[in-house]
Amino acid sequence: MRYAVAALTVAVLIAQDSTVIRVPVRLVAVPTLVYSRDNQLVPGLKKADFRVLDNGVPQKVDLDTDDAPVSVVIAIQANRDARETVPFIAKVGSVMEAHLVGATGRAAVLAYNSDAKVLKAFGSGDVRWAFRAVRAGGMEAHAIDAGMEAIAMLKERPRTQARVLLYIGQAMDRGSKANWATLEQEADRENVSIYGLISSDAKPDPLSPLIAATGGTELHFHHQPELENAIGALGVELRSAYLLSYYPSSADAGKHTISVEVSIPGAKTRARPGYILSPN
């Protein structure tokens, strides 16, 4: 999904003492998918077709019609639990580069077990080589800590572009210092959408609430063709999103809810449900 929050400042003059106070104002970008009544993606909509509410208040919205690039960090599980899937995950780097990252996107790759190892940073390296370099070992799987590392990397990407964290592996964590709630808060604060390509059907699935809360998608795979198809499906989603943006009418710090409505009979939308506006 294409989401972004660009920080600007405005000067407020206090008449009593002529002190200038700088107050944060944020441009909120809301990548939005629109589905028809029969669950098909709806193309060709205009700005006038959308209505965005922030904390229930209608906003003045712009629609970017350009195909904005995506910045994605791909976090691959690489402990012993993943040893059966790592061999064919290693073979889909070219599919990932072609169908999800695309010609204009940028990707970084990290593998995690007891720590998170960056196999490809933004602006250097090759996605295919990074996927082939993944090796399974160790018992721990610090998925949450890897997510925190990924978001730290995404902070350095332009705020006017979509920021995506994509997990590949099992929906589990073993040994992280951080917790799921902290990861969700950081994703909300930095406008990161979390997606999952999950290799098991085990329940409970702690990633599902996190993915839903950030406007992402979770797909499951059990072998290489299913993984390749899932990568293609996510790529279609990311390229089909409408990039809506607005300056929130309220500068109140804290959690803001987002609701996107569309004036197409029977159509429904999917967008991230909210974000956190920091006081500074």
Give the pLDDT confidence of 162-219 residue by residue, as tens digits: 899 999 999 999 999 999 999 999 998 888 999 999 998 878 889 999 999 998 999 9
Domain at 94, CATH number: 3.40.50.410
Give the pLDDT confidence of 7-27 residue by residue, as tens digits: 333 333 233 333 333 334 578
Q: Is the peptide bond before 31 cis (omega within 30 degrees of 0)?
A: no
211 and 85 within one domain = yes
d(CA 38, CA 94): 32
Tally of residues, the chain: 280
pLDDT of residue 159 exceeding 80, the answer is: no
Region 45-71: what's the mean pLDDT? 88
Q: What is the pLDDT of residue 66?
A: 66
Instruction: Report the domain count for the chain.
Output: 2
Percent of the chain with pLDDT over 70: 89
Q: What is the pLDDT of residue 161?
A: 77
Q: What is the pLDDT of residue 276?
A: 87
219 and 84 within one domain = yes
Residues near 108 by beta carbon (within 8 Å), at least 6 away in sequence: 72, 73, 74, 118, 120, 121, 122, 150, 153
132 and 50 within one domain = no
Distances (CA, A) of 150 to 12, 65, 112, 135, 252: 35, 28, 11, 19, 28
Q: What is the pTM of this model?
A: 0.84
Q: DSSP of 114-171, one letter per residue?
A: SSEEEEE-TTSS-HHHHHHT-----S-B-HHHHHHHHHHHHTTS-TTSEEEEEEEE-S
What mean pLDDT, rounded, does the chain reach? 86
Range of the domain at 48: 4-64+242-277
d(CA 197, CA 193): 14
Give the pLDDT confidence of 113-133 residue by residue, as tens digits: 999 999 999 988 899 999 999
